[in-house]
Structures are given as structure tokens and as C-alpha cells.
Structure 1
């Protein structure tokens, strides 16, 4: 009996435990459902907020785009162009019916005439725009403008006549109608032509740099016409786009003047050489005190020989240093060497002419004293012989490479003239060439 009771209690306990487990599971499922529903509600709320934010951003973007489009459409240029087209359309709509009624009133067969006249004016006006776009010659544009004026003028005269004969109007009203129809007929082509003219000028407007470049090109062609013509020949002879004008102009300048320096000519090189020689002579030559002069009436008509300053020992080297580099190294034409001008031969003295009759014979004119250079101011450096110069050049250029062996470097290092520096350069190059060829011949 006790066993049955125990089993019943065990069964009831098991049932109670199962009910607790089932209740706990149901509670867990309910909590999970609530949690899932809460999460879903949160996601939906977040999605709604995101959608509202996106829609607000999209509306703001659309409004800004519309505002930008309105701003771009309402610029002065667009308003002018579109307004001109609207006025041109209104002009055509106002002038064409009067022409149609005029010609149809004469005969229905004349209906194509107003269309042809009005169409000719607008087609020629479009031809002017096409000529501006293609950069055709000016006479083509003016010819098309004359055709536009002829067609529009003929149409305006027809409309003016039609307005004067309108029935049911007083004389002033008919006059006003005729003038209005003629004006509106001419207004369209005139406004279209002004619009095209303004557009062409706006397209041709460039920056100040472009205008300055055009002025420079125009001035260069005026001042160097021969060089510019030769450069144009080079550009036209080369394939299209292969040779630019600047390169052709530089090549033409070198051909015409013999120098690659822009602006320099043989005459300017001679002036530079003479100026450099005069500066070197002035720096190495000192003049003595100025002689006293006694002016007489007879001396005014008498020429005296001019005495040249005595050349110094190294004057032949100083006068030949004309530029910082030798002429062959620069690729420029060799200018004429500066030589001392010989003293002019003294002419016979002219007869003395006295304005006042002298009571005694006029004394003979005393010759002007000749300027002399003080011994202390003369150069004490002896004039070197070619062998001495060659020896100094060998010592100086012993460790120089073939590229460094130039007349300019030798001139500055040895302190001699450009002509002697070139001779020394050629001699040293010949010695190096002979020395380089010597081992080869020996090996052979």
C-alpha cells in the first residue's frame, strides 16, 4: 500500500515539476516574443527616422539643384540670348501675317512669296552666325548682312504699305500701324544680328596675358618682318603641327643674323666689341695733365696733328679682350679685330686771318704739347713670347678634360687675349690628339 502511495506522490511531484518546466518554457517563449517585438519596433523606428532623414536630404538636394539651375538659367548671358530669341519669334509672328494677307489679297498663288522673303532674311542671318563660327573672311559676313538687309527691307516696305491701307482706321492710326509693322519686321533680323555680334565679341575676349601676347606678336612682325616671313616659310614647309612658330623664328633669326641670341645682330656685336675694347683701353691707359691752351684768332683756322697715346707693353692683349667668351665657342661671327688708328698726317697750316689789322706781325702759333704717359703709370709686365704662353697653358691644363679645354678657360687662366687663347687651345688639342694616337700606332 505504501508503495502505491509513494508512486502517486512521485507521479504528482513529477507532474508538478513538468508543469513548472512547461511554465518556465512558456515564460521564456513569451519573453523572447516580446524581446523580438521590441527589437522589431526599434528597427522600424530607426528605419523610419533614416527614411525621413534621407527624404529630407533628397528634398534639400533637389531644391539646391533647382536653385542652381535657375541661377544658371537666369544669368545675364542666358537671359539676353533667350530673350533675344523670344523677341525674334515675336517679330516673325507679327510681320509674317501682314505679308501673307497682302500677297493672298493680290492672288492666292502668291502665298509662298512671304514665306520665301521672310525665310531668306532668317537664313542669311543664320549664315552670318555660321561665318563667324568658321572664321570666314569679313567680306563674306558683310555680303550676307547686305542680303539680310535687302530681304528685311523689302518685307518692311510691304508691311508698311499694308498698314497704310487697313480699312476702318483713321489716317493717324493707319500711319501708326504701317510704321509698327515695318519696325517689327526689321526688329527681328536687327536683334539677331546684334546678338550674334555680341556673342562673337564675348568669344574673342581673352585674358590680359593673351592680349599682351597678341601685341607682342604684332610688334615682332612689324619690327622683324624679314625674319618673320622666313619663319612662316619654315612653318608652311614642315608638316602640319610639326614645327611651331617660336622654333622657326629662332632658326630664321640665326640664319638672318648669324647669331642665336635674340635681338643681337652683327652690327650690335661689333658695337659691343668696340665698347669692350674702349673700356679696356681706358682702364689700362692713364692720361697726363691737360695742356694749357692759348686761343688766338689765327688758331681757329688751323688744324694741328692729333697725337695718339703711346701703347703699353700688354696693350695688344688688353684690346683684344672684348667679351667674356671667345667667338667660336659662342657660335657667333668673328668680329673685326680692333686695331690702333694711325696718327693723321699733319696738314699745312692755313693762312692766319686777323679780324683787326695788326700793327705788328702775328707771332707763330706754338704747337700743342703731346700727351705722355708717366713711366710710373705704365705697365711693368713684360710681353710674353708664344713659347712662354704655351708653357703656362700646358701647366694650367694638365689635369683638364677635353670638354674643359676651351679658349675661354685658357684665356682666363693665362690672362691673354681671345685670339691667342684660341691658338693655344688648338695647339694643346693637337698635342693631346697626337699623344692619344701614339700608343695606338705603337701597338700596331
Structure 2
């Protein structure tokens, strides 16, 4: 009896184990199905993403192509519309010519070839003219294209006139289908490349400048022409030739500057310096009784342009250009400045002394003995104070011209340093 119970207990245990295994298998099977479904779902999602990306790439490629087309049209509207007119004119022109030749009992294949020859010849010449633009003459190509276009247009016009007797305006439209596109292409290819209004104005002004320069400076023009003819073609610019010629003729490198103009400039500065040495009237300085006759000092003209001209002046006149006493004396010696009329000459002051007559012969004002005595006194006073006699002090004391004060100072200095020998 106990054995039977043990057997039954074992059977129950076995069945429980089998049922547990079955449950585990079912759970594992359900888990595997779930995993398989999840993997299938992920694969489906990945396939959808790939399809969307491919679709986006195709859409982006189409947009890029469309953008290139629209961008080209936006950047080249004239060329785009000319291309449209070409496409819309060639087809009806060829069809009209084929129909015209066919109605003239020409074989269809021959009519097609002849129509293609006329239209193709016109457009071939148009393309050849566009390729030759800027490299060689395009007149031959343009005339050939217009001739071929007119022949094709004449055929279309005759065909339209007979084909549409009640609507003759159609003949003109058919003729324009062969001529209009050639005309537009010719304008686009060869038009608008000439000089602009500003360029024409500049060229006109340049030509006028060259004419006036050659007219005003014939000597320089002759030398410049010789330089240009002697140099290799294109090696020497015209302006550089004129600069060299100007230096050769006038001795300076600044165009427009001559020796006469330089002398006038130096003389003008000398006159300004002379005027600046004159005493001012007393009524110009009210309220100054202690110094009723101060020297009137005028500012001398100067500026950055002086350096440009002084660089072209020889060393002597260049060193004399600052207006000083020494500068005026240098101008007197070189003859660049003419002093005032001398005493005893027409327009000068009379002088009865022998020294005055000698000075008049030399073209200078004679020294007045009274002025010499006053300058001697002034020199003694200055020497007592330990000061030197200067031209400015002589000029201020006597109120005389600068050149006269210079000669007085030199005369008194010569007396003081070389006193006359006593018997």
C-alpha cells in the first residue's frame, strides 16, 4: 500500500514538472514572439526612415535643379527670354518651310533637309559670330546670318500669303518666326558692348586735352613724338614720353613748370618780403605810443605744393627761396629780381654826392651821410649794451627799405672793423 502511494506521488511530481516545463516553454515562446515583433517593428521603422530620407534627397535634388534653373533665369533674364523665343520660333519656321516646299511638289525628305539647311545655316552663323566676338571681325557672320534669315523669312511669307488668303497678317507672323529670333540673338550677342556714355565723355576729354597740350607746347610735342617713334611700339607710354620731353626742353620734371614761371614765383616772394620790411603807419596801431612804428610783418605764402616745385629748382635758387636778407641778395646777384629805380635815374631819387652818383651808376640808392651818422650812433649804443648791429635794428631805426638798411649796416661794420688811418 505504501508502494502504491509512493508511485502516485512520483506521478504527481512528474506531471507538475511537465506542466512547469510547458509553462516555461510557453513563456519563452511568447517572449520570442514579442522580440521578433519588436525587431520587425524596428526594421519597418528603419525602412520608413530610409524611404523618407531617400525621398528628401530626391526632393532636395529637384529643388537644387530647379534653383539652378531659376537662378540662371534670374541672373540672365535677357538670355533666358531669347532662348524661349528661339525655341518658339525655330519649330514653326521649319514646319512652315517644309509645308511651303511640299506644296511646291518637293519631296518630303528633301523639303525637311532644305528647311533644316536654311534655319540651321542661319543659327550656325549666329553661333559663329558670337564665338568670334572680341577676337576678330563679326561682320561677315552677321551678314550671312541675316541673309539666311531673310531667305527663310521670305519663303515663310510667300507660303503664308498663299496659304491664308483671307488672313494675310499670318504671312508676316510666319516671316517673323525666321527673322525675329535671329534679330534678338544678334542684339544680345553683339549689342551693348560699345563704350558707355562715361567712357565716351572721358575719351572726348582726353582727345581735347591732347589737342590743347600739343597746341600750347609744340616744342615739347616734337621731342615727345621723337621719343615715341624711337622707342619700341608700346614700350613707352605717351605721358611718360611727355614727362621726359618736358624735362629735356624746360629742365624740370614737373609738367607745366618753366624757368619763366619759376622766376615770376621768386620775384613775387621777394616783393612780399620787401613789403613785409616796411614800417606800418601809426594809425594802424592806436594805443601804442611807445612803439608807434612797429615793423609790419606779412606772412609769407607756403604750403605743401611748394615742395613739389622746389624739388625741381637748381640748388642756387632753391637755397634762396626762403625770403631772408641773404635770399634777396642772391636774387639781386642772379638777376631774378629787379630792385627799385636807382637815384639819379628816371623814377629814382636824386643824389648830388659823389657816392650817390657812383651808387646810381651801379643801380643802387646812394648812402645818405646823415643816415650813416645815425647808424654809427646806433652801433655805439648797441656796443655799449653788448649787442650787435643788425639789419632789422637799422631798418627799425630809420624806417628804410631792407636793401638800403643792409648796405648801411655793412658800411658801418666796415668802418668799425677797418677804421681809416690817421695822418
> Whose RCO is larger (CA < 8 A, sep 6+)?
1
TM range (shorter): 0.3 to 0.5
State the TM-score, normalizing by the size of structure 2: 0.46
State the TM-score, normalizing by the size of structure 1: 0.44
